[in-house]
A = this chain, B = another copy of it.
Amino acid sequence: MHQVTPTRTFMGGLDHNDDLLAALTKICQNENIKLGKVEAIGAVKKAALGYYNQDKKEYSYFTIDRHLEILNLTGNISIKDGKPFVHAHVTLADDQGNSFGGHLIPGTIIFACEAIVQAFDGPEFKREVEPVTGLPLWE
């Protein structure tokens, strides 16, 4: 664990019909956030998610083509391939309250979303593939 220093905090609504992961990434680019965290609630028109297969060391992807509440989005911001990268997981729910979730990937479309992004100062957090897990983890 590394000590970091919270600096700027941003709060607001994301745009209807935008891609959720792209919208969060764009905030980081616009505000020059290289380290930080994000949280959100809201609703999506459909979801695209990943599950990491720990044996095969690869993600499998699936979509849920339904209107869902975002019960929670939790993510962190760091550097991957030289650019700000949002790693976020989402918990969703359908009209019966049944819940679903996974690793957020492009293709999750915002109906409405209220996010809080907090930027940190600190050492460089850079993602590189780590051989034991096969995941792009912090060095």
Contact = CB atoms under 8 A, between A and B. Distances in A.
Interface in A36-71: 37, 39-41, 43, 45, 49, 51-55, 60, 62, 64, 67, 69-71
A76 B41 contact: yes
13 contacts: A4-B11, A11-B76, A16-B133, A37-B39, A37-B116, A41-B89, A51-B95, A51-B97, A62-B96, A71-B101, A91-B93, A97-B101, A111-B133
Given A75-B41, A93-B101, A97-B49, A10 B16 contact: no
A18 to B, nearest CB: 13
Interface of A: 1-6, 8-13, 16, 27, 31, 35, 37, 39-41, 43, 45, 49, 51-55, 60, 62, 64, 67, 69-72, 74-76, 87-91, 93-103, 111-112, 114-117, 120, 122, 125, 130, 132-133, 135, 137-138
